Chain A
Amino acid sequence: MINQGVEPAGPGPVSPEQAKAQDNRVLGFWIFLSGECAFFASLIGTYLSLNTHTAGATTLVSLIDLPLTGLMTLSLLTSSLTMVFAFLAMNRGELQAMKVWLWVTALLGAVFLDLQIFEFSHYMASGFTMGTSAAASAFFALVGFHGLHVAFGLFWIISLLSYSFKDGITAANTSKVWIAGLYWHFVDVVWVIIFTVVYLLPKVH
């Protein structure tokens, strides 16, 4: 990786006020994530309750393509690792390396979204749509909202990449990357749960 010669971020923020502001920002984001836990729990609870309400129509279990889901999981898990590599590059003060890893993360996120769009279109073509049954509604609400979170995360990372970083990696801008990374990892955590509860468990006979 190329070090553009930027100054390393240094041991910490430059002033107590700045330190406090950044610390509060990260703490606030963790509180936001705990709210997100409740949001996804509502959707998961609803799905678990309604997944047997198929109204005699096409069921999800008959349509699930496990290799496709596995590929989606692989792309999202790997994107978490590349996001960690972006952190590590940031901590070394290597702006260019950080940007490369952020691009790789965005690319893997885009692959995930692409596969999810393909999956949804396949389901809809097979007669499994939002209006098919209560189970289908709950499924599309849960997995669709997760997909929207991934799309938002992708937009966020690309926004970060378009940020100029004209002063290099500084104490003032590291929290921007840090918080975006927390969000991205959280989206991955939610996928691990969705992957298990929605895709794998119904396949266990």
Chain B
Amino acid sequence: MTDSRQPEEPQHRRRYLQVLWAMILLTVIAFALVITGALPPVFIAAILLIFAAIQVALQVYLFMHLNVGRRAYGMFFGMGLGVAVLISMALFVLLRY
């Protein structure tokens, strides 16, 4: 299980902290946009979705270490995500319209 062995260096800890701060910053900006309504709604909605995608990517690649794991991990998880998008879109379309 070589993928679970991360080289332990101080910069690793710093990088994870930086990622956490980045995610908190994105969350705070998202909050501020929603509360102040500083931009047209369609822009805010788009920004919120982009921020969510960035946070999910950071979590999966860095915190779940998909960036250093076997390719099969990413393949199966990617398939799951693909099916998830299809299911949610299909349910949305079928039930709402």
Name A's B-contacting residues (CB within 8 A): 9, 11-13, 19, 22-23, 26-27, 30-31, 33-38, 40-42, 44-46, 48-50, 52, 66, 70, 73-74, 77-78, 80-81, 83-85, 87-88, 91-92, 171, 174-175, 178, 182, 185-186, 188-189, 192-193, 195-197, 200-201, 203-205
Contact B4 A178 (CB under 8 A): yes
Contact A9 B59 (CB under 8 A): no
Q: Could you tell me the distance between the alpha carbons of A185 and B56 in the complex, rounded to whole angstroms?
A: 10
Contacts of A26 in B (CB 8 A): 1, 3-4, 69, 73
Task: Give the dominant DSSP class at A's interface.
Answer: helix
Contacts of A197 in B (CB 8 A): 52
Contact of A50 among B1, B81, B95 (CB under 8 A): B95
Contact A12 B84 (CB under 8 A): no
Given contacts A34-B80, A49-B95, A204-B34, 14 further A-B contacts (CB under 8 A): A30-B73, A30-B77, A34-B79, A37-B83, A38-B80, A44-B88, A45-B89, A49-B94, A74-B27, A84-B63, A87-B4, A87-B6, A175-B4, A195-B52
Number of interface residues of B (CB under 8 A): 56
Contact A27 B91 (CB under 8 A): no
9 contacts between A and B (CB under 8 A): A22-B1, A34-B79, A73-B27, A92-B8, A171-B1, A185-B59, A185-B63, A195-B52, A204-B45
Contact B88 A188 (CB under 8 A): no
Contacts of B3 in A (CB 8 A): 26
Q: Could you tell me the distance between the alpha carbons of A52 and B49 in the complex, rounded to whole angstroms?
A: 20
**How distant is B57 from chain A, measured CB to nearest CB, in Å?**
10
Q: Could you tell me the distance between the alpha carbons of A80 and B24 in the complex, rounded to whole angstroms?
A: 12
Q: Could you tell me the distance between the alpha carbons of A42 and B87 in the complex, rounded to whole angstroms?
A: 6
Q: Which of B4, B55, B63, B79 has the most CB of A within 10 A?
A: B4
Name B's A-contacting residues (CB within 8 A): 1-6, 8, 12-13, 16-17, 19-20, 23-24, 27, 30-31, 34-35, 37, 41, 44-45, 48-49, 51-52, 55-56, 59-60, 63-64, 69-70, 72-73, 76-77, 79-81, 83-92, 94-96
**How distant is A94 from chain B, measured CB to nearest CB, in Å?**
9
Contact B84 A174 (CB under 8 A): no
Contacts of B5 in A (CB 8 A): 9, 11-12, 91
**How distant is A102 from chain B, measured CB to nearest CB, in Å?**
15
